[in-house]
């Protein structure tokens, strides 16, 4: 066989083989691409499941250093900016009546909102999460519950008459956790409700509009350098001055689980001017309506009776009091 024949014999197959290699590689990449996409999708699902499992085991672990059942709250390091997801909420009570705002009160700082409830009223978890504390504090919260939520907040429910969940229990938003009461340092049955981020108390009115049974938005963006101003604005918009009044109808509420839109306003007029010492004709209740008065500094049975157009005897009978009973600031008295 001559050299030229040998070259022709081997050259053509070699050239064809070399030309086919890139094509085969491209085919292999094309076949591999769907596999890579499926693998990536599976990896994403696995990561999400791991995150969900971690949140169930220890909610908001990126914000908190530990999970501890010994203290109600301990201030940590607040982030400069943090986005709080308020979706999937449930109002802790259908009561629309705030009796005490967040902030300074009686010479000390009030770390939450007081919501008028009756002994035995159902109290529910505001968001899904895990119960961290179920304890009794006779000089403060009384029977109380602390829940850490997946959105970073912790909520505290104080002065309960009964706790119906246990520590380390996972709860859903809207799940009953206790019953309203008057335990601990309390002057009348109500729910003391706190919202904390990294152990630091934030005004619940930043997140919840009790008068309209809704949250303030899908999200709340916490900014540390603006929090005092925003808290004051929230109190002005959703504090005691915007409450619908102490009628039993409003305390019990007329809404479903989340109360509908906060934009829906109740047009009925209620007397909420408790600072006035003058007799107010608008305080006269409609037939059968039950109304309440919150005791302020300097109030007496006589001044309250004159303000609402009733007698001292009627006040005493409605509230099971004696004519010389000493009143406490913040005490709730029925006057109709």
Print pLDDT tens along the chain (336 aa): 565 565 566 565 666 565 555 555 566 656 666 666 666 666 677 666 666 665 566 677 789 988 989 888 888 889 999 999 999 999 999 999 998 888 876 667 888 999 999 999 999 999 999 999 999 998 889 999 999 999 999 999 999 999 999 999 999 999 999 999 999 988 889 999 999 999 999 999 999 999 899 999 999 999 999 999 999 888 888 887 555 555 556 665 544 444 433 333 333 333 333 333 333 333 344 445 567 777 777 888 888 888 888 888 888 888 778 888 888 776 777 787
Task: Kindly give the pairing relationship between strand 122-124 and strand 129-137.
Answer: unpaired
- Which residues, 6+ apart, have CB-to-CB distance to 142 below 8 Å? 136, 158, 159, 160, 181, 182, 183, 184, 185, 186
Query: CA-CA distances (angstroms) from residue 55 to 148, 152, 221, 271?
Result: 10, 10, 21, 45
97, 115 in Cβ contact below 8 A? yes
Closest CA to 203 of 104, 83, 303: 104
The phi, psi pair for 292, rounded to 5°, reads -130, 155
Handedness of CA 313, 318, 322, 328 (dihedral sign): negative
**Residue 27 in tokens:** 């085919």
- pTM beyond 0.75: the answer is no
| Number of neighbours of residue 257 by Cβ within 10 angstroms | 13
d(Cα 240, Cα 246) in Å, to the nearest integer? 11
Q: Is 282 helix (H, G, I), strand (E, B) or coil?
A: helix
């Amino acid at each position: 066989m001559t050299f030229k024949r040998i070259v022709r014999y081997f050259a053509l197959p070699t050239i064809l083989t070399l030309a086919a290699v890139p094509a085969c590689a491209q085919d292999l990449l094309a076949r591999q691409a769907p596999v890579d996409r499926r693998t990536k999708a599976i990896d994403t699902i696995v990561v999400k499941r791991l995150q969900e499992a971690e949140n169930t085991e220890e909610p908001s672990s990126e914000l908190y250093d530990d999970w501890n059942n010994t203290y109600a709250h301990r201030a940590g390091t607040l982030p400069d900016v943090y986005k709080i997801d308020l979706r999937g909420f449930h109002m802790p009570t259908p009561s629309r009546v705030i009796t005490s705002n967040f902030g300074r009160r009686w010479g000390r700082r009030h770390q939450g909102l007081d919501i008028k409830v009756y002994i035995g009223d159902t109290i529910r978890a505001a968001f899904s999460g895990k119960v961290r504390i179920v304890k009794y504090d006779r000089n403060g919260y009384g029977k109380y519950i602390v829940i850490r939520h997946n959105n970073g907040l912790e909520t505290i429910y104080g002065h309960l008459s009964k706790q119906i969940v246990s520590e380390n229990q996972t709860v859903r938003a809207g799940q009953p956790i206790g019953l309203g009461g008057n335990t601990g340092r309390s002057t009348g049955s109500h729910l003391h409700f706190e919202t904390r981020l990294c152990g630091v108390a934030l005004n619940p009115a930043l997140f919840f509009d009790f008068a309209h049974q809704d949250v303030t938005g899908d999200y709340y963006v916490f900014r540390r350098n603006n929090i005092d101003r925003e808290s004051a604005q929230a109190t002005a918009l959703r504090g005691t001055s915007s409450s619908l009044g102490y009628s039993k109808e409003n305390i019990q509420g007329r809404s479903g689980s989340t109360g509908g839109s906060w934009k829906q306003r109740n047009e009925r007029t209620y007397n909420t001017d408790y600072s006035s010492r003058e007799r107010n004709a608008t305080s006269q209740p409609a037939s059968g309506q039950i109304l309440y008065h919150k005791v302020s500094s300097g109030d007496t049975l006589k001044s309250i009776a004159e303000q609402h157009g009733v007698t001292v005897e009627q006040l005493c009978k409605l509230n099971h009091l004696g004519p010389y009973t000493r009143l406490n600031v913040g005490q709730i008295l029925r006057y109709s």
